[in-house]
Amino acid sequence: MTDRTISFNIYEDKETEIKNTLTIVYNALKQKGYNPINQLVGYILSEDPTYITTFNNARSLITKIDRDELMQILVKSYLGD
């Protein structure tokens, strides 16, 4: 029997969770006929949740994400780091 140690990275789990939430919110906005990019940018800049639809619980989901963490993930993703 070999001793196996499973490792995990909390930051990577958090990043995956935020990406999944952002995808759900994006899809909800798109399904309701909004321009998801414009709405998300409006929300990120103002932190006003009314930019996000309540459809599919999207508004509730996005408000659970820390805006600083979201910005870090977006910049990291954009720069490919």
Alpha-carbon distance 73 to 81, whole Å? 10
Say whether pLDDT at 12 is over 90: no
Enclosing H/E stretch for 44: helix 36-46
Q: How far is CA 76 from CA 19, 30, 34, 73, in A?
A: 12, 24, 26, 5
CA 79 centroid distance within chain: 17
Q: What does DSSP assign to residue 48?
A: -
Percent of the chain at pLDDT exceeding 70: 86
Are the C-beta atoms of 63 and 46 separated by less than 8 Å? Answer: no
- Entry pTM: 0.81
pLDDT of 36 reads: 97
Read off the pLDDT of residues 31-64 as tens digits, 9 standing for 90 and up: 999 999 999 999 999 999 999 999 999 999 999 9
Say whether pLDDT at 3 is over 80: no
